[in-house]
Amino acid sequence: MLRVLLAVSLAATVAAPVFSETVVPESIEEIRLSFAPVVKRTAPAVVNIFANRVVASNLSPFSKDPFFRQFFEFFGSGRPRVQNSLGSGVIVSADGMVVSNHHVVGDSTDIRVVLSDRREFDAEVVMSDDGSDIALLRLRGAENLPALQFRDSDEIEVGELVLAIGNPFGVGQTVSSGIVSGVARLGALTGNERGYFIQTDAAINPGNSGGALVGMDGRLLGVNTSILTRSGGSNGIGFAIPSNLVAKLVEQAQAGKADFERPWAGIAGKAVDFDMAEVMDMDRPRGMIIDEIHPESPFARSGLRAGDVVMSLDGRKVDAAQEMLYRMSVSGIGESVEVVYLRSGDERTAIVEMELPPEIPESDVGRIGGEGPLRGLVVANANPALIVEANLPLRTEGVVVTGVERSSRWLHLQPGDILRKINGNRVKNARGVRRIARRNADHWVVEFEREGRRHTLRIGS
C-alpha cells in the first residue's frame, strides 16, 4: 500500500507543472507505467547516428608546439584517415529532417541513421553551425516518420521532470530521467562559443550528444550537447541547447538557407558585477554594460552608446553577452526588438532592428598576383561581415589577410593579420595593397598587426 501511495504522490507531482490539465491515474497499471507513456510517444523519434569523416594526420612531431611547428610546417605529408563518430539525433519533421550536434556530424562525408524500429537511412547535412553546435540532416527517401514537436523553451521552469533519450557509449537507445537544474546556464563550452543552455541532472554520457531532452508532455525542450565531467561519464551536470534556438535553425533550413544567419549586435560588453553595480547605484548586479560599439551597429543607430547597460530584449532579461546573442538569434533576421537599457541611472527604451552584419565598406576580396614575395596572399577590406566571419576584434579597420596559399606560407603571415605598411607606404585598402605588392623591389618591409601587437617582416637583402 505504501508503494502505491508514493507512486500516486509522484504522478501528481509530475502532472501539475507541465500538463495543461491534470490527469489522475485510473488504475494500478497506469501507476506502474511511470514514464512509459512519455517514452512510447517520444523514443521512436530519437535516432542513432553513425558518421565518418576524412581527416589528415600531421606527421610533424612538433605539430602541437606553438613555436616549433612553424619551422616544420612542410615536414612530411599528411596521410588521410577516417574518423568515426557516434551520436544521437531527433526527428523534427515527418519528411526526415533530423536535428543533431555539429560535433557529431559536421564535415562528415558518410552518415548513416538508424531508427528505433531498426530502419536505416543515408543522410546528408543540410545545415551545420559550429557556433551553436547544431546540425540538421535530411534522411534520403524518408516519409511519414515519427517527429517531435518543439516546446517553447522560455516556458521551462527549474524543477520540471525531464527525460534524456539517446545512445550513450553506443549501447543502444536508452532513457534517463531527472529534473531541470537551471534554465539560463552560461559559460559551458560547445562548438566555438560559450553558449546559453538548459542544465539537467538527467544522465548524459558520450553518445547522448544530439539526443532529445523532453518534458512530461512529450515535446522537445532541447538537444543534449555536453556534460561537465572529470571522469568522462555523467556527474549529473548536463547541458542541452534550448528548443527555441534549434527551431530557428530548422526554420532557416526549411527556407533554403545553407548557413545559419544570426543578427549582428555590433557591440562588445560584459555582465555587470557587484563593484560596477555599486558604482552605478544599482540595488544588485543586473544587465550587460556596453564596452564598445561599432558605428554601423543597429544598436548605435537606435541611440545606444558605450557605457549604457542593456537590461532586456523584448521583456527577457540580458545579463551576459551569450544571453544577448541567444535572445537575438531566436528573434531572427528582419524582426524588431524592444531594448530596455540604463544610462546614468535612467531607464530608456529603444527599438532595434535585427539584421545581418553589413558589407560596409565593400570587402573587395582578392589574391595578390605578380612575382613579388607577397604573391599568393588573399586580402580584403575589414567590415562588419568580415569581422564576424574571421572572428576579429570589433573595431578592426584596414586590410586583413583572409587567406594564405601554400606558395606564400613561408612568410608566416596568417589569416586575421592586419596589414599596416608595405615598404613605408601606408595601407589604405585591399586594391592598393595588391597594386603595391606587384611592384619590383630589392627588399621588402611589411608592417602588420596581430592580436593587437605590431610586427615587422623583412624580406630580401
Tell me the sheet residues that pair with 450.
453
Using H for helix, E for strand and C for coil, what is the string for 313-328?
Answer: ECCEECCCHHHHHHHH
Nearest residue to 322 via CA among 288, 367, 273: 288
Question: What does the alpha-carbon distance between residue 252 and residue 260 come to, in Å, rounded to a whole number?
Answer: 7
Peptide bond into 361 cis (omega under 30): yes
CA-nearest of 132, 199, 210 to 165 is: 210
Classify residue 196 as exposed, middle or buried by CB count within 10 Å of its CB (0-12, 13-18, 19+).
buried
Q: Are 404 and 280 in contact (CB under 8 A)?
A: no
Integer Cα distance of 70 and 149 in angstroms: 50
| Angular region, 144: left φ>0, alpha ψ -120 to 50, beta rest | left
The span from the CA of 285 to the CA of 312, in Å, is 14
Of 133, 308, 319, 417, which is the active-site residue? 133
Q: Where are the alpha helices (DSSP H) in 36-82?
A: 36-42
22 contacts: CB under 8 Å, gap ≥ 6: 12, 15, 16
Which residues are CB-contacts of 364 (< 8 A; sequence separation ≥ 6)?
Answer: 380, 381, 429, 430, 431
For the chain, the maximum distance between any two Cα atoms, rounded to a whole number of angstroms, is: 96
Classify residue 406 by its DSSP letter. Answer: G
How far is it, in rounded angstroms, from Cα 299 to Cα 320?
Answer: 16
- Rounded CA-CA distance 347/309 in Å is 9
CA–CA gap between residue 47 and residue 139 (Å, rounded): 11
- State yes or no: is 455 an active-site residue: no
The 10 Å CB-count burial string (b at 16+, else e) for 440-452 is eeeebebbbbeee
Exactly one of 93, 103, 153, 417 is catalytic; name it. Answer: 103
Is 209 designated active site?
yes
Find the catalytic residue in 209, 226, 234, 363: 209
- Cα–Cα distance measured from residue 311 to residue 347, given in angstroms and rounded to the nearest whole number: 9
- How many residues comprise the chain? 461
Number of H helices, E strands in the chain: 10, 25
CA distance 164 to 39: 10
Which residues carry out catalysis? 103, 133, 209
